[in-house]
Amino acid sequence: MSLPYGVDVTVPSVARMYDSLLGGHDNYPSDRTAVEQLLERVPSMRELALNNRAFLRRVVHVLAAEYGIRQFIDHGSGLPTQDNVHEIAQRVDPSSRVVYIDNDPIVRTIGGVLLESDENTAVLQADMRETDAIFASEPVERLIDPEEPVAALFVSVLHCIPDSDGPAELVVRVADRLPDGSMLVVCQLVSESPQVRDFVTRFMDEQTQGHWGRVRQKKDVADFCAPLDLIEPKLVEVSAWRPGPHEVPAQLSWEWEEFGGVGFVRR
Ligand SMILES: C[S@@+](CC[C@H](N)C(=O)[O-])C[C@H]1O[C@@H](n2cnc3c(N)ncnc32)[C@H](O)[C@@H]1O
Q: Where are the domains of the chain?
A: 14-265
Domain 14-265, CATH class in plain words:
alpha beta
Distances (CA, A) of 197 to 100, 144, 160, 221: 29, 37, 14, 15
Q: What is the mean pLDDT of residues 255-264?
A: 94
Q: What is the mean pLDDT of the chain?
A: 91
N residues, the chain: 267
pLDDT of residue 81: 86
- Protein residue with least CA distance to atom 27, ligand 1: 78
pLDDT of residue 140: 98
Nearest to 121 by CA among 152, 156, 94, 146: 94
pLDDT of residue 211: 79
- Protein residue with least CA distance to atom 4, ligand 1: 78
pLDDT tens digit sequence for 135-149: 999 999 999 999 999
Strand partners, 263: 184, 230
Q: Is the CB of 73 under 6 A from ligand 1?
A: no
Distances (CA, A) of 75 to 88, 99, 128, 242: 17, 9, 6, 22
pLDDT tens digit sequence for 220-230: 999 999 999 99
Query: Would you say residue 3 has pLDDT above 60?
Result: no
pLDDT of residue 209: 82
pLDDT of residue 58: 97
- How many other CB atoms are there within 10 angstroms of residue 87's CB atom? 17
Q: Are 101 and 76 in contact (CB under 8 A)?
A: yes
Q: Is the CB of 15 under 6 A from ligand 1?
A: yes
Range from 86-100, 124-138, 172-186, 252-266 carrying the lowest mean pLDDT: 252-266
Q: Global pTM?
A: 0.94
pLDDT tens digit sequence for 138-189: 999 999 999 999 999 999 999 999 999 999 999 999 999 999 999 999 999 9
Range from 102-111, 207-216, 246-255 carrying the lowest mean pLDDT: 246-255
Q: Is the CB of 53 under 6 A from ligand 1?
A: yes
What element of type H or E holds 106? helix 105-114
**Given CA atoms 136, 139, 140, 144 in this order, what sign does their dihedral have?**
positive
